[in-house]
Structure 1
Amino acid sequence: MNETVNAWLDAHLPDMIADIKALCAINSVEGEPEDGKPFGDGPYQSLNKALELAKNYGFAVTNYDNYVGTADYDQDLPRTLDILCHTDVVPAGEGWTVTDPFNVIEKDGRLYGRGVSDDKGPLVAALYAMRALKENGVKLKKGVRFIMGANEETGSHDIAHYYATEPEAEMTFSPDANFPIINIEKGQFKGILSKDCAEDKTLPRVLSLDAGIAFNAVPQKAVIRFEGLDIDANQNILDDVAAQCEVKIEKTGDDELTIIGHSAHASTPEDGRNAGLAAMILISKLPLYPSEMQKTVSQIPKLFPYGVTDGSGIGIKMADEDSHDLTCTLDLYHVDPTHAEFTFDARTPVMATKENCEAVAAKTVQDAGFDWSTPGMIPPHVVPKDSDFVQKLLASYEAVTGKKGECIAIGGGTYVHELKNGVAFGAVFDGVDTRMHGADEFFDLDNLLTAAKIYADAIVRLCA
C-alpha cells in the first residue's frame, strides 16, 4: 500500500504545486477585523480557499466562525489524530529578489513565495497525504481531523477559539516546524530592568538610546543621540567597538549614531549581532560625563556580556540533558536623561524553576542597582520521547527518509505548545534554512514530496 500511495503522490506533485500557488497568492497577513472576518479579509480568504481545496478532495469540512476550518477523513470514526496547520502569514517585508512575495514561482527545484514553507506548503503536503490515502481506498480504524487556523502568526487566537468548544484529540502533530520531531519546547522567562534618575545636564551626555522592536528578537538597529560630544574626535573608539561586535556604526546626524547589527529570533540569539548591546558598550567607552544614569547603564554590558547568550551574567546559566542550554538575550532598550529600561527574553530548559531562575535573576539585577519586574515564567512543553505516539512518528520519518530519527528541543514555541500530547513534526528538513519570515522564502520540491509521504505513513501507523 505504501508503494501505491507514494506513486500517487509522485504523480500528483504538479497538482500540489498548483494548489500551493493558489493558496499563497492570497496575502493572508492579519488585517483589521470585519464582520465575520475576525482577522481581516486576507486570513478569511486564505482559510476559505484551504477549506475549498479540502472539500474538493472529498473531505467533510467545517468552518468555525472563520477562526478555524477542519476537514475530517471519516466523520464516523472516533477522533484520534489531529493535524494542525495555519493559513496566515507574516508580512512580506523587503528585500525580495526572486519573485513578488505573493506570486509563487518554481525555480531550480524550489518554490519561492511568502508562505511556501510557513505554513501553506506544509499544509498542502499534509492534506495531500490524507487525500492520497483516501483516493487509494485506505481504511482507517481511528479518525483523522485536519485543522487549519487563521491566526498562528499573531497570537493563536484562532486555536483558543476552536478548543473552547472542541476537545483535544488523543494525539496532535503540526507540520509547522522541522523534522524529525520537536517534542520539547523550552519555557520562557521575560524580565524588565529599569532605573529612574534625576536629570544631570553636565556634558557630554546621552540624550537618547533606543533599540529593538520586539522582546523576542535580537535588535538589528540602535540609534544614539548625544549632546556635547565630538563624535568625529572619537572615531577610533567607534572603529574598535564596530570591529569587536562585528557591527556597522554610522554617523547619521551631527549628534547621532546608528548601529546596524543582525537580527535573530530570541530562541537562537547566538545567530545575531545585538545592535543594542553594541550601543551599550560604545557609550561605556566614550568620554561621557559619569552621571548617575551613565554609571547605571554602564552595568548593562556586565550583566549581558556581548556574544554571551547563556544567562551567566545574571546568574541563570543552566542546562539539562533533554532540553539543553538556557538562552538569554537583551532585546529592548530605551535610555533618556531620566529613565532607562531594558527587557530580556530567556528560553529555559525543563529544569528551570522560579527558585533557580526567576529569583536568581531578580537578585542579580537588583544588586546592580536596577528595579525589577517580570510577568513570570511560562512553563515548557514536553511530550515524552519514549511515548508510543512519538516513536511511531519517528518510525515514519526513518522509513521514508532512511535517516535516523531523533527528538529535538527548541527555544521557540510552536502551534502545539498548549496541547497536552502535541508535537511539531516537519515539514522542513532539519538544518535547511528556508528563509521563513524573511525575503525569498522557499520550499524545496523534494522536501515537499517527501514530507507528504512521511505524513501518509504516519497516519497509517497511528490510525490504521
Structure 2
Amino acid sequence: MYEEQIHAYFDDPKARETLIAAISRLVAVKSVRGEAQPGMPYGPGPAAALAEGLKLAGEWGFHTENHENQVGTADLNDKETRLHILGHLDVVGEGKGWSTDPYTCVEKDGMLYGRGVSDDKGPVVCALMAMKAIRELGLPLSANVRLLMGTDEESGSGDIAYYYSKHPFAPYAFTPDADFPVIHIEKGHYHPSFGKRWAAETALPRVTGLKGGFRTNVVPPEAECVVSGLTPAQVEEAAGAVAAATHTPFTVTAEGESVRIHCAGQNAHAASPDDGRNAISGLLELLARLPLAECESTQALRSMHTLFPFGDTRGKALGIAKEDAESGPLTLNLALMELDGEGFSAKFDVRYPVSSNEDNCKKACEESLARHGIAVTADPDMTSVHCVPADSKLVTTLMESYQTFSGDTQSKPLAIGGGTYVHDIPGGVAFGCVFPGFDPKMHAPDEQANVEQLLCACKIFTHAIVELCK
C-alpha cells in the first residue's frame, strides 16, 4: 500500500529541511491584523504573509489565486474539487516574555519556536507538504484538493465568510488549526447581557461600586468592590474563610469611611472554566457573608450569588445545566460585572451541548433571572451547535488516517466548547495539528511546535487527502 511510500517520503531528511525552511519563511512575516489599507482589508502584515504563502505554493508547482487579499488558494490539480483544507496566515500579537525573536523561526532540540509555528503557519505548510508529496509520489486522485489560506481567523474570520459568499462549499472540509484526532462537535454559544436598575440609596453598609472581568471568553482573574460603612476588621475574618474555601485570595484596604476589597482569581478560557477560578463569583461569595444593609443593591448582589455560586460552571443554579454523551456538559462563565450607585450589569459566556435548545437554555435563563427582578438587556441569538456525525465518511476517514500514522488507536472524535474556522461550514471538522498531550503555547510567549509531530501530521494529511480524493 502507499503508506510505505508516505513514510519513506517524509522520513527523508530532505523533507524535514523543506518543512522547516517553508515554515521559517512564513514566520518571518509579522502578520498581525492592522488598519485596513487600499487592497489590504486586514492591513499590510496579513497581506504580506498571504503573498509569501502564495509564492511558496507557486514555487512548489500549484495553481494559486489571490482572492482580494482576503484568502489565497492553492489547487493540487484541475479536477473537480472535493476537499477544502482551511488554514490561516494571520497571527496574534507577540506579547512579552519571549526567549527568542518571535518572528524568527528557531529550531532547538527538535522544537520550533516562533509566532505561528503551531497557529497556524506550521499546519498550513504541513498541508502544502502533503499536496507536494502526492504530486511527487504520483499518487492517483480523481478529484482536487484546494488549500485555503486565510488572513483574518484571529479577528473574526471575515476572510472565510467573504470567500464562501462567492464560492461554493466543497463536499468535504477540514481545518488543521486545532487538535488531533478529529473535532466533530463545536458547542453552541449563548452570551446575554443582563442587569437591574434602582434609585439612589443611602443605607449603610452597602456596596457602592464593583467591577470584575475584562473579556467575555475569559474566566475573570480579578474583581474588586468598594463597601461604604465597613472597616477592614469587619471584612477580614469572612475574607479569610472564603479564600480558604475558594482559593481566591482577598486584599482588604481602608479608604476613608469605606473599604476596598480585591479578589484574585485565575484566568482560563471560557470554554474550559474548570481550569480557572472565577474572581467575580469569589467576590460575590464574600459579599454574601458581610452584614450589608437591606437595600436593592444588596438584594441584587445576593441574587447574583444565588444564581452564580462559586464553582458552578454548569449553570445548575441558573436552571440551564445539560449534558449528553455525544458533546459533554454545558459550561458557564460569569465573565463581566459592574455595579454603581444606581444599578448593575453583567454578562456570561455559555457553551452548550447538543441536548440544549432555546427552551431549556435561553428561555430558562430568562425565567430564572426574572424571578430575581433581573432583566436581559442584550439578547443575542444562540449560536448553533456545529456537529458532524462521528460515523460520517469524513470523520471515519480522518480517524483512520490519524490512527494509521500516529499509532494512537484509543482516541475518539472530540467535542469542544471553542469554535474553529469550520464552525459555519457545512460538514467541516477540525483535524490537527496538535497531538494529545502536547502544549503548543498558542497565543503565548515561546509558541512551539515539535518537528517530528509536524512531519507525522504531513503523513496523516497526505493519507487523508488520498483517501478522500482517490
Distance 1:225 1:48 in 2: 53
- The 3 A distance-change label for structure 1 pair 77 and 312 is same
Match of 1:388 among 385, 390, 393: 393
Code of the aligned partner of 2:400: A
Name the structure 2 match of 1:354.
358
Name the structure 1 match of 2:413.
407
- The 3 A distance-change label for structure 1 pair 67 and 291 is same
Does the 8 Å CA contact 1:194/1:372 hold for their aligned counterparts?
A: yes
Structure 2 residue 453 is matched with structure 1 residue 447 = yes
Code of the aligned partner of 2:345: E
Q: How does 1:327-346 map to 2 (within 5 A)?
A: 327-346=331-350
Distance 1:223 1:26 in 2: 41
Match of 1:428 among 434, 453, 459: 434
Q: How does 1:40-439 map to 2 (within 5 A)?
A: 40-74=43-77, 76-96=78-98, 98-231=99-232, 233-251=234-252, 254=255, 255-373=259-377, 374-404=379-409, 405-439=411-445
- Tell me the CA shift for residue 126 of structure 1: 1.4
Name the structure 2 match of 1:8.
9
Distance 1:25 1:227 in 2: 54
2:208 aligned counterpart, secondary structure: strand
1:63 aligned counterpart, secondary structure: strand
1:438 aligned counterpart, secondary structure: coil
- The 3 A distance-change label for structure 1 pair 279 and 92 is farther
Does the 8 Å CA contact 1:218/1:331 hold for their aligned counterparts?
A: yes
Does the 8 Å CA contact 2:206/2:297 hold for their aligned counterparts?
A: no
The percent identity for this pair of structures is 42
* CA deviation string 1:410-446 (max 9, x = no partner): 1111110111111101110133332212233221122
Does the 8 Å CA contact 2:232/2:253 hold for their aligned counterparts?
A: no
Code of the aligned partner of 1:86: H
Distance 1:21 1:8 in 2: 21
Does the 8 Å CA contact 1:70/1:146 hold for their aligned counterparts?
A: yes
Code of the aligned partner of 1:266: A
- The alignment covers a number of residue pairs equal to 462
| Residues 101-110 or 340-349, more deviating | 101-110
Code of the aligned partner of 1:436: M
Does the 8 Å CA contact 1:9/1:128 hold for their aligned counterparts?
A: no
1:210 aligned counterpart, secondary structure: strand
Gaps of 5+ in 2: none
- Tell me the CA shift for residue 119 of structure 1: 1.0
Gaps of 5+ in 1: none
- The normalised TM-score by structure 1 is 0.95
- The 3 A distance-change label for structure 1 pair 273 and 418 is same
Distance 1:274 1:93 in 2: 24
- Tell me the CA shift for residue 292 of structure 1: 0.9
Code of the aligned partner of 1:24: V
Name the structure 2 match of 1:25.
28
- The 3 A distance-change label for structure 1 pair 278 and 93 is farther
Does the 8 Å CA contact 2:151/2:159 hold for their aligned counterparts?
A: yes
Does the 8 Å CA contact 1:310/1:328 hold for their aligned counterparts?
A: yes
Does the 8 Å CA contact 2:70/2:159 hold for their aligned counterparts?
A: yes
- Tell me the CA shift for residue 257 of structure 1: 3.5
Code of the aligned partner of 1:158: D
Does the 8 Å CA contact 1:203/1:288 hold for their aligned counterparts?
A: yes
1:299 aligned counterpart, secondary structure: helix
- The 3 A distance-change label for structure 1 pair 361 and 262 is same
Does the 8 Å CA contact 2:220/2:278 hold for their aligned counterparts?
A: yes
Distance 2:194 2:329 in 1: 23
- Tell me the CA shift for residue 113 of structure 1: 2.3
* CA deviation string 1:51-88 (max 9, x = no partner): 111111111110001100000001x2001001000111
- Tell me the CA shift for residue 229 of structure 1: 3.2
Distance 1:390 1:253 in 2: 59
- The normalised TM-score by structure 2 is 0.94
Distance 2:444 2:260 in 1: 29
Does the 8 Å CA contact 2:231/2:254 hold for their aligned counterparts?
A: no
Distance 2:443 2:244 in 1: 29
RMSD, matched Cα: 1.8
